[in-house]
Amino acid sequence: MRDIMGMMGKVKEMQAKMEEVQAEIQAMDIVGTSGGGLVTVHLNGKGVLTSLKIDPSLFKEDDVEILEDLIVAAHKDAKDKGEVEAQAKMSELTAGLPLPPGMKFPF
């Protein structure tokens, strides 16, 4: 019976840590760039675009398609970085858990 109580305590402790890690992930500011820094985007930890900076040299009519591609590329760069960082934070949290390989947490 004592083992069950200890396990329940650990579950509550893990839930608190999970909420803390999720708040940290939400608060992350991930920067993505493209075009050698001509386009810069900022995403929060949930992948929401929070800021966009475009070098003024890109504002030429014939460069619109290039600019659109650079914005998409910068967004992808930031999103990829954010996913890696969020996964690292979650891995730290679940380091002691016997989860099967490849299992995502939270479920």
Q: Give the CATH number, domain containing residue 58.
A: 3.30.1310.10
When the pLDDT of each residue in the chain is averaged and rounded to a whole number, the result is: 82
What's the number of CA atoms in the CB half-sphere (13 Å) around residue 52? 13
What's the number of CA atoms in the CB half-sphere (13 Å) around residue 45? 14
pTM over 0.75: no
Q: Domain range holding 33?
A: 28-91
* DSSP type of residue 101: T
Number of domains the chain contains: 1
Residue 80 covered by a domain:
yes
* pLDDT score recorded for residue 104: 55
For every residue of 13-35, DSSP letters joined together read: HHHHHHHHHHHHHHH-EEEEEEG
What's the number of CA atoms in the CB half-sphere (13 Å) around residue 81? 16
pLDDT digits 0-9 by tens, 31-75: 999 999 999 999 988 888 888 998 888 887 777 788 888 888 999
Q: What backbone phi and psi angles, to 5 degrees, belong to 104?
A: -85, 145
Residue 65 covered by a domain:
yes
**Band of the pLDDT at 107, cuts 50, 70, 90?**
very low
